């Protein structure tokens, strides 16, 4: 896709890496214009490959082949420098509001092409909070991850109610989450899969993490059912 509003904030992907992840963000800004100004400001040193407005308007800021500056410090599946191995998509949203239908529909049209061009699987479409659970919360509790999963554009866990206790932290890491404090990982996990949940870690959290680890492990070797 051709650039519609080029940002100067990009570089080469380090070590010849190719995109293998798609990271979804919210802008946490009031308008698309404000977000665009920041993402194209050299002094801000932030950018993303794409920006989607509430009305579904799409802006392409950085070539997919290039390294945009959207993920910051963090890791996924045991690897850092997420910027060098990801495509970043910013959604205009303040963080607590619903994502409008035109915006979601545009995202759903955008994702399949990126995934096909770079052979990115549904399990590798992740949240910014997933890779940086101690410092980020986007795209936040109102983003509809299950809707994406139903179209094969992300993944969703099944609550299998395992008979034996499950190690939440170990299973979250096997799915891809960083080795971070358990409360931070739990918060990020719930933002994506149980945004209504409150209180300490429970059996439902552990069961969902175990299902994800079983079906979508980092090493690609799924455990038997």
Annotated catalytic residues are 90
> Closest Cα to residue 52, out of 40, 44, 60?
60
> Closest Cα to residue 143, out of 102, 100, 89?
100
Q: Element (H or E) spanning 21, and its range?
A: strand 21-26
Q: What is the distance between the alpha carbons of residues 224 and 168, in angstroms, rounded to a whole number?
A: 18
Q: What is the distance between the alpha carbons of residues 31 and 150, in angstroms, rounded to a whole number?
A: 29
Q: What is the longest distance spanned by two Cα atoms in the chain?
A: 54
Q: What is the distance between the alpha carbons of residues 124 and 22, in angstroms, rounded to a whole number?
A: 6
* Helices 168-175 + 203-215 axis angle, to 10: 30
**Is residue 157 reached through a cis peptide bond, with omega within 30 degrees of 0 on the bond before it?**
no
Residue pair 112/125 in contact by the 8 Å Cβ criterion: no
> Around 62, how many Cα atoms within 13 Å sit in the side-chain half-sphere?
31
Residue pair 208/162 in contact by the 8 Å Cβ criterion: no
> Around 63, how many Cα atoms within 13 Å sit in the side-chain half-sphere?
6
């Amino acid at each position: 896709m051709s650039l519609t509003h080029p940002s100067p904030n990009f570089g080469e992907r380090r070590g010849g890496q190719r995109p293998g992840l798609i990271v979804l963000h919210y802008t946490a800004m009031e308008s698309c214009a404000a977000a665009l100004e920041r993402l194209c400001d050299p002094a801000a040193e932030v950018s993303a490959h794409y920006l989607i407005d509430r009305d579904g308007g799409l802006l392409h800021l950085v070539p997919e082949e290039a390294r945009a500056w959207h993920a910051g410090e963090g890791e996924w599946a045991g690897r850092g420098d997420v910027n060098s191995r990801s495509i970043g998509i910013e959604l205009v949203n303040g963080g607590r509001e619903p994502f409008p239908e035109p915006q979601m529909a545009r995202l759903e049209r955008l994702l399949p092409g990126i995934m096909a061009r770079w052979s990115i699987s549904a399990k590798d479409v992740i949240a910014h909070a997933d890779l940086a659970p101690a410092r980020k919360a986007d795209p936040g509790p109102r983003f509809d991850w299950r809707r994406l999963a139903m179209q094969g554009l992300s993944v969703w866990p099944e609550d299998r109610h395992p008979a034996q206790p499950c190690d939440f932290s170990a299973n979250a890491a096997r799915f891809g989450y960083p080795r971070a404090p358990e409360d931070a990982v739990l918060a990020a996990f719930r933002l994506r899969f149980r945004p209504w949940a409150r209180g300490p870690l429970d059996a439902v959290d552990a069961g969902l993490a175990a299902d994800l680890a079983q079906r979508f492990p980092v090493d690609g070797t799924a455990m038997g059912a």
